[in-house]
Structure 1
């Protein structure tokens, strides 16, 4: 399966490791902050040009423009800088606008996965995926705003089943070998 994702500094693919799915968080949750930021910028421009407020200089209204643009930029950059990758051997999450944080969970450690969608998330086809690992006692990796989480969770579940089946085959094969 080709995904356009190649080995990088933050994604060290091992020999034989194939990318099953790669993506970014859905744009849907970022649209409201982006609309608010854009609206603030437009209001700032409009107030500075059209409305005369007593004892308030027009430059004060222009302060809304960079504030609005900063909100738009942050909403977009925080989404753009987050990457999710599922491979045949691990689940990766990369995040960070100014810093870098990468979490890797080997498929062999994954005990269970679950996805969750509210009504709004279901309407716009995104949701959250929780990855539970052996020995953690809870959610080890929480992936937010994943597009089509049911499909992506299904890919992970299928890979878990295949990994478990190949592990069982290796155990059976090694059990039949004589020990020295």
Structure 2
């Protein structure tokens, strides 16, 4: 992760890092997850353009304004689909520090889930064949006192690396616990 990304994340008002806490990984869902929406948006914009050219050649000028501007409306719908998909991708951010897991959702409103690493009992990751081909998947985090996952990093790039980072952090945490209690 680049230092410019670190600085912008560390300065976020929703992230409460202690003095010695460090960000170990931060990310969003894979950009490949945007592809289907962008493809649909491109097709809709193309249909609007073809409709405009075809209408102009078929009828020429002098159409009532609702019909004359319909192709523009179709193209704007396509652009709206692309913007919506990007905003949906942008609203989700995962941060893994050496003490906590943060999941931030929202652009205007905000929902932040925060889980201490010392509560994490188990982790897992999974990938469908398509996700494996494109290099993304889900990492699931299970906490104490729960039989279902409490946090899921959805559609993130390199889920195996993220799970390995999390496993390393959990190992570090468990090796530090006896020392914090007075040494065993």
TM-score by length of 2: 0.86
CA contact under 8 A between 1:40 and 1:65: conserved in structure 2?
A: yes
4+ long deviations beyond 6 Å: none
TM-score by length of 1: 0.88
Equivalent of 2:169 in 159, 163, 171: 159
Give the Cα separation in 2 of the matches to 1:100 and 1:69: 25
Give the Cα separation in 2 of the matches to 1:38 and 1:10: 35
Equivalent of 1:116 in 126, 131, 145: 126
> How far has the Cα of 1:44 moved from its partner?
0.7
Match of 1:61 in 2: 71
Equivalent of 2:94 in 80, 84, 87: 84
Give the Cα separation in 1 of the matches to 2:16 and 2:109: 18
Give the Cα separation in 2 of the matches to 1:32 and 1:42: 15
Equivalent of 1:11 in 15, 20, 23: 15
* Secondary structure in structure 2 of the residue aligned to 1:8: coil
Give the Cα separation in 2 of the matches to 1:157 and 1:97: 30
CA contact under 8 A between 1:19 and 1:87: conserved in structure 2?
A: yes
Give the Cα separation in 2 of the matches to 1:163 and 1:43: 56
Q: Which runs of 5+ in 2 are unaligned?
A: none
Give the Cα separation in 1 of the matches to 2:67 and 2:12: 51
Q: How does 1:39-58 map to 2 (within 5 A)?
A: 39-51=43-55, 52=58, 57-58=67-68
> How far has the Cα of 1:172 moved from its partner?
5.4
- Higher relative helix content: 2
* Secondary structure in structure 2 of the residue aligned to 1:70: helix
Q: Deviations over 1:95-135 (max 9, x none)?
A: 11332111111101111111110011101111011110111
Q: Note if 1:104 corresponds to 2:114.
A: yes
* Secondary structure in structure 2 of the residue aligned to 1:143: strand
